[in-house]
Structure 1
Amino acid sequence: MGCGSCSSGGGCGTSTKLGTVPAGCNNNGTCMTSGCNKLDVYDWLSDMDLPSNYKPFNIVEVRFKGSRKDFFVNTDNIYLEMGEMVAVEPSTGGYDIGHVSLTGELVRLQLKKNNVNPETVAKKIYRKANEADVAKYNAAKELEWETMHRARKLALDLGLSMKISDVDYQGDKTKATFYYTAEGRVDFRELIKKMAEAFRIRIEMRQIGMRQEASRLGGIGSCGRELCCSTWLTDFKTVSTSAARYQNLSLNTLKLAGQCGKLKCCLNYELDSYMDALKDIPNDVDRIETKNGVAYLQKTDIFKKTMWFSYPGAESWIPLPISKVKELSELNKNGIKPESLDHAPAQKEVVKPVVLDYENVVGQDSLTRLDEKNKKRKKKKSKSKQANGSKTKVENEKVTPTVENKQQNQQTPLKEQKKAEGDNKQTAENGPKPEQKKKRRFNNNRNRNRSNENKQQNGGE
């Protein structure tokens, strides 16, 4: 997007220091990025040596916020470069700050393109912007966002059917231009009074269209690039739905409309080539009558010059060249019905050789080699599972339980239960016996120890 000041209508010349090159990308406006050179002209004469007796053209093109440009006379012959900030004479009192967008002989061509007579250019360039001018300019630009929201609130309070889309302060902070969109005429006299009391500046109201609003605000289109109207497009031509019909586009308003709500300007870009190609294609051939039936037109390939017809109820379409269609239509006009449509022979599928982008010198394999192996393994596993499942089914079918086997199978769990109950009883009866024996042995040893102690005591006495 270039330097950060491009959104405020500036270019690469946002330097606040005197005697330095313009700030931003430091390319003096020749970086050719869409943010820095918004609606700019590339100065291809800038690096060329001029003749010794050449008198430079004294009219300079200056760019302001948005897509607004104007021409000014350089009466003092100040040396100016593209992107520099200059103080110029506005249409009202005071002064305005803008960026130089073009100098030299190319300005003469721009005047001719815009149908402006060089003798009618009367506004002057005062000077290069100094530090005080730049500081006041930056302070004015910081107020634009807040001023726009306050103005919108005032318009809503008055119930006006208008949308204030942008505000442009003059460089000396004495005047503000309000750009708005509305469907019809709006009586904003009361709004101007309230805004003058709130902002204490001179106010100018200017109505713009939807496309001009999109060009001032900018944005990203559905193609992924910046809007054409905000970067290079200046001439807004009318766009109709017939342009979409000629190009065989679906009439979907969501896809055909741009951010401005109108039809996209790019629908006119390729319209001329389509119109040239449609000159050879007949417009009045919607169906062809044959002895086999009536074939209706289904599709037209404009650039391949092929028309596709089909019989009612048939699934296949028959491609016909334009010359053949013209012959068949002339036969129908003369009352002659051909037997059938001579469709083109079926095209054989040509197997294209696989061309690798690299040579396998190091022995590198394809990146999808593991996926192919995994697929093969999965297929083998699935086949083995199916085979095992079929074997188990066959075995289960072979072992068919009889009535006797069923009775035996029913009796076996009863026997197992009885055995388990008997084991539990034995464990319950035999469980405490070893504990009792241990207690008896312990008690006997204890009694023996006591009797021995008593004997010793009696013997000692």
Structure 2
Amino acid sequence: MPGVIEVRFKGNRRGAYAWDAPAAPRLHAAVIVEAERGEDLGFVHAVTGVGASACDGCDSCDPAEPVVEGERPCVVRLAGEADLAEHARLREDEDQVRRDVAARAAAAGLAMRISDAEWQWDRQRLTVYFTAERRVDFRGLVRDLAARYRTRIDLRQIGVRDEAARLGGIGRCGREFCCSTWLTQPGPVNLGLAKDQRLSLNPAQISGGCGRLLCCLKYEHQFYVEARKRFPKEGRIVTTLQGEEKVIAVDPLREQVALRGADGTTRSLPLVRFTAETRAARGEGTVGT
């Protein structure tokens, strides 16, 4: 039974490959793998169980896809120095390819922005990624590029979030984009996530490098939803030992409740103290010192 490894390519592109050998390759080792037409070079990202399926401890990873035995592509061999040298030459060439494709697209009057170009290691395929506001008829451009580079051309339209994942960058937190390092399926993000967490709704404050809402708005959302169930609703009138007061703010992280009395004075107290005071005001207990 062959093992399974996860191989990572340019732009955070990943794939699972069968490894039919006694010992699995080490992490980050360069390997030659089977491609749809020919061979490609990538780097080992995960080995055996980690590469074969997603963990079941959270829902942030890609779900494991069932694979029919014999249909999973295989690792051909470990890459040698000559293979890595060719890989480096291809990476150097891709920026010039991107500029050339962009110039040809502009000359053809196509409303598309070329984001990236990626050679397959054996030069049997050239994949060009682009963004566009609407559907683009690029059949003429494909024929032009096929004649120019004499290989199979694959033009792929991607969204701005996919573009950010491919190109990478540094987020507001000072770390690399989640989508370009570990977050393979960001999922939908909406403004309600920011509202539930009482975050600023200023787009400049809650948008990522792609211009869309930050994917990390989802990370702590469930905590806030569950935590707020223990707090009174803001704007509610409550009875405490100081009489009727209005809840003006709650802070789930600090476990604090801010109140305003009938005379306009405000105070902030821990949730535990607030709960004890409201219970005591109803005659259901006492408040300790």
Same fold (TM over 0.5): yes
CA 1:254–1:319: 2 relative to 1, 3 Å: same
Partner of 2:188: 238
Instruction: Determine the C-alpha separation between the residues in 2 that align with 1:68 and 1:62.
Output: 8
Q: Is residue 3 of structure 2 the alignment partner of residue 58 of structure 1? A: yes
Partner of 2:60: none
Structure 1 SS opposite 2:69? helix
CA-to-aligned-CA distance 1:24-82 (integer Å, 9 cap, x gap): xxxxxxxxxxxxxxxxxxxxxxxxxxxxxxxx743332221121121223346676322
Partner of 2:118: 168
Deviation of 1:115 after TM superposition, in Å, equals 2.0
Deviation of 1:323 after TM superposition, in Å, equals 6.8
1:147 corresponds, among 78, 85, 97, to 97
Partner of 2:13: 68
Instruction: Determine the C-alpha separation between the residues in 1 that align with 2:188 and 2:256.
Output: 29
Select the structure that is richer in helix.
1
Pick the structure with greater CA Rg: 1
Partner of 2:41: 97
CA 1:76–1:246: 2 relative to 1, 3 Å: closer
Instruction: Determine the C-alpha separation between the residues in 2 that align with 1:120 and 1:263.
Output: 41
Instruction: Determine the C-alpha separation between the residues in 2 that align with 1:103 and 1:300.
Output: 46
Partner of 1:19: none
Instruction: Determine the C-alpha separation between the residues in 2 that align with 1:170 and 1:256.
Output: 36
Deviation of 1:254 after TM superposition, in Å, equals 0.2
Deviation of 1:259 after TM superposition, in Å, equals 0.3
Structure 2: where are the runs of 5+ without partners?
Answer: 57-62
Identity of aligned residues (%): 35
Deviation of 1:174 after TM superposition, in Å, equals 2.7
Q: Is residue 152 of structure 2 the alignment partner of residue 202 of structure 1? A: yes
Deviation of 1:200 after TM superposition, in Å, equals 2.8
Contact 1:133–1:172 (8 Å) recurs in 2? no
Instruction: Determine the C-alpha separation between the residues in 1 that align with 2:159 and 2:214.
Output: 14
Which of the pair has the greater relative contact order for Cα pairs under 8 Å at 6+ separation? 2
Letter in 2 for 1:138: A
Instruction: Determine the C-alpha separation between the residues in 2 that align with 1:322 and 1:279.
Output: 13
Tell me the TM-score normalized by structure 2: 0.79
Contact 2:170–2:177 (8 Å) recurs in 1? yes
Instruction: Determine the C-alpha separation between the residues in 2 that align with 1:104 and 1:193.
Output: 41
Q: Is residue 51 of structure 2 the alignment partner of residue 107 of structure 1? A: yes
Instruction: Determine the C-alpha separation between the residues in 2 that align with 1:283 and 1:326.
Output: 17
Partner of 1:183: 133
Q: How does 1:272-291 map to 2 (within 5 A)?
A: 272-283=222-233, 285-286=235-236
Deviation of 1:257 after TM superposition, in Å, equals 0.3
Deviation of 1:111 after TM superposition, in Å, equals 9.5
Instruction: Determine the C-alpha separation between the residues in 2 that align with 1:122 and 1:213.
Output: 27
Structure 1 SS opposite 2:12? coil
Letter in 2 for 1:195: L
Q: Is residue 58 of structure 2 the alignment partner of residue 128 of structure 1? A: no
Partner of 1:226: 176
Instruction: Determine the C-alpha separation between the residues in 1 that align with 2:236 and 2:111.
Output: 48
Root-mean-square deviation (CA, aligned residues, Å) is 3.2
Deviation of 1:286 after TM superposition, in Å, equals 4.5
Letter in 2 for 1:317: T
**Runs of at least 4 residues of structure 1 off by over 4 A?**
75-79, 110-113, 284-289, 294-297, 322-328
Structure 1: where are the runs of 5+ without partners?
Answer: 1-55, 331-343, 348-461
Letter in 1 for 2:40: D
CA 1:84–1:318: 2 relative to 1, 3 Å: closer
Instruction: Determine the C-alpha separation between the residues in 2 that align with 1:249 and 1:111.
Output: 31
Instruction: Determine the C-alpha separation between the residues in 1 that align with 2:27 and 2:122.
Output: 22
CA-to-aligned-CA distance 1:354-398 (integer Å, 9 cap, x gap): xxxxxxxxxxxxxxxxxxxxxxxxxxxxxxxxxxxxxxxxxxxxx
Structure 2 SS opposite 1:143? helix
Contact 1:214–1:229 (8 Å) recurs in 2? yes
Instruction: Determine the C-alpha separation between the residues in 1 that align with 2:54 and 2:250.
Output: 43
Instruction: Determine the C-alpha separation between the residues in 1 that align with 2:74 and 2:2.
Output: 14
Deviation of 1:214 after TM superposition, in Å, equals 1.1
How many residue pairs match? The answer is 269
Select the structure that is richer in strand.
2
Instruction: Determine the C-alpha separation between the residues in 2 that align with 1:245 and 1:327.
Output: 33
CA 1:60–1:297: 2 relative to 1, 3 Å: closer
Instruction: Determine the C-alpha separation between the residues in 2 that align with 1:258 and 1:157.
Output: 32
Deviation of 1:229 after TM superposition, in Å, equals 1.4
CA 1:224–1:281: 2 relative to 1, 3 Å: same
Letter in 1 for 2:152: R
Tell me the TM-score normalized by structure 1: 0.52
Contact 1:72–1:88 (8 Å) recurs in 2? yes
Deviation of 1:206 after TM superposition, in Å, equals 1.5
1:306 corresponds, among 245, 253, 257, to 257
Instruction: Determine the C-alpha separation between the residues in 1 that align with 2:122 and 2:194.
Output: 47
CA-to-aligned-CA distance 1:220-257 (integer Å, 9 cap, x gap): 11111111111211121211111111212121110100
